[in-house]
Amino acid sequence: MVQEINVSQLLTEAKTSQKAENLFHQGNKLLDAQQYQEAIVAYDKAIAFKPDSADAWINRGIALTKLQKHTEALASYDQAIAIKADKDEAWYNRGNALASLQSYAAAILAYDRAIAIKPNKQEAWINRGIALTKLQRYQEALASYDQAIAIKPDKPEIYYNRACTYALQNKVELAITNLKAAIRLVPGKYQQLAKTDPDFKKVRSDQRFQKLIQ
């Protein structure tokens, strides 16, 4: 038996979908304007119309992260993953939320999932390296930074993070070599950061280091 097409229902669904889309874009504009609380309100409204919008859940989580509401952000990313488990952005941002909560081992697992979906996701390799450094898994951290460099070698923060990882191991020459690379890419910024960064405590008294950060 041929099913009748319910035109009225189709029109209602189309209108609902359009409302959700409009609210999602409104939320994105507010997010870009750094109006994070207002963005969350817009995303909540979009989700009310379309609860299975993984992108709305992700961007809602990003807005919550900007407000330092990491536990709520984590729940938002988990909702996105429950809807669409192959969204690298959901896993990546989940990793960031976990890292902010100092759950570094769990953060690494989330970054691993993001990388499995999108192997050239450089920011996931970088943040994975930071989390590994926090756990004093220095060799794994350096390998993660090497992967990031292989994707795009002109990111100064990779070399700065490598310098930190070497400095924590009291490997002065390697720390200085990488800090020089960061400074070469962005003069000024990384000298200032290194002056007060506690990661450089073990190498701070070295004259070569002192000369570099002047």
Task: Examine residue 135 and state whether it is found in any structural domain, yes or no.
Answer: no
- The C-alpha torsion from 67 through 71 and 73 to 79, rounded to 10°, is -160
The pLDDT tens digits for 12-52 are: 565 667 888 999 999 999 999 999 999 999 999 999 999 99
Q: What is the pTM of this model?
A: 0.90
Task: Examine residue 163 and state whether it is found in any structural domain, yes or no.
Answer: no
What is the identity of the amino acid at 30? Answer: L
Matching residue, tokens 């994070």: 36
Task: Examine residue 165 and state whether it is found in any structural domain, yes or no.
Answer: no
Q: What is the distance between the alpha carbons of residues 37 and 76, in angstroms, rounded to a whole number?
A: 15
Query: What CATH number is associated with residue 35?
Result: 1.25.40.10
Matching residue, tokens 């889309």: 21
Number of helices (H), then strands (E), in the chain: 12, 0
Task: Examine residue 164 and state whether it is found in any structural domain, yes or no.
Answer: no
| Mean pLDDT, residues 158-180 | 97
Name the band, by pLDDT with cuts 50, 70 and 90, for residue 6: low
Q: Which helix (H) or strand (E) holds 89?
A: helix 88-100
The pLDDT tens digits for 197-212 are: 999 999 999 999 999 9
Identify the domain containing residue 39 by its residue range: 10-84
Task: Examine residue 109 and state whether it is found in any structural domain, yes or no.
Answer: no
Task: Examine residue 63 and state whether it is found in any structural domain, yes or no.
Answer: yes
Q: What is the pLDDT of residue 13?
A: 61
Matching residue, tokens 């409302």: 19
Q: How many domains does one find in the chain?
A: 1
Task: Examine residue 197 and state whether it is found in any structural domain, yes or no.
Answer: no
Q: What is the pLDDT of residue 214?
A: 87
The sign one gets for the Cα dihedral 57, 58, 62, 65 is: positive
Task: Examine residue 79 and state whether it is found in any structural domain, yes or no.
Answer: yes
Q: Are 96 and 127 in contact (CB under 8 A)?
A: yes
The sign one gets for the Cα dihedral 22, 39, 109, 171 is: positive
